[in-house]
Amino acid sequence: MGRRKKQRVVKEEITQEFAGWTVGDIVWGIRPNKQVCRGEIKKFYESENLAQVLCIEGNGYLICEISTLVEKSTKSEMKKIAKEYIAKSEK
């Protein structure tokens, strides 16, 4: 019986800080469909000014624009802001 060759795992280098935010920050954000979410930043997409957020409420990984992220707020305040929010795709 032959031996298997070990597969090398290539780790992806992720940006730890971007636009004043760091990976691991707990934030409120507005999604492109104008829904509000709260979660922990996991990854940044610098070319598109987006952040991947792991939702605390159990909705999984969500994408939010970095310009909509707020550290301290309430859900009701964020919903008011979300009503006036215009996503990049709508501009």
Domain that holds residue 29: 17-90
Kindly state whether residue 31 falls inside one of the protein's structural domains: yes
Nearest to 64 by CA among 47, 39, 84: 39
- Per the CB < 8 A criterion, the answer to whether 63 and 51 are in contact is yes
pLDDT, tens digit, 9 for 90 and up, residues 35-77: 888 999 999 988 888 899 999 887 789 998 888 898 888 888 8
The CATH number of the domain holding residue 31 is 2.30.30.140
Kindly state whether residue 81 falls inside one of the protein's structural domains: yes
CA 39 from centre of chain: 8
**Helix (H, G, I), strand (E, B), or coil: what is residue 49?**
coil
Q: Considering the entire predicted model, what is its pTM?
A: 0.74
Kindly state whether residue 1 falls inside one of the protein's structural domains: no
Q: How many domains does the chain have?
A: 1
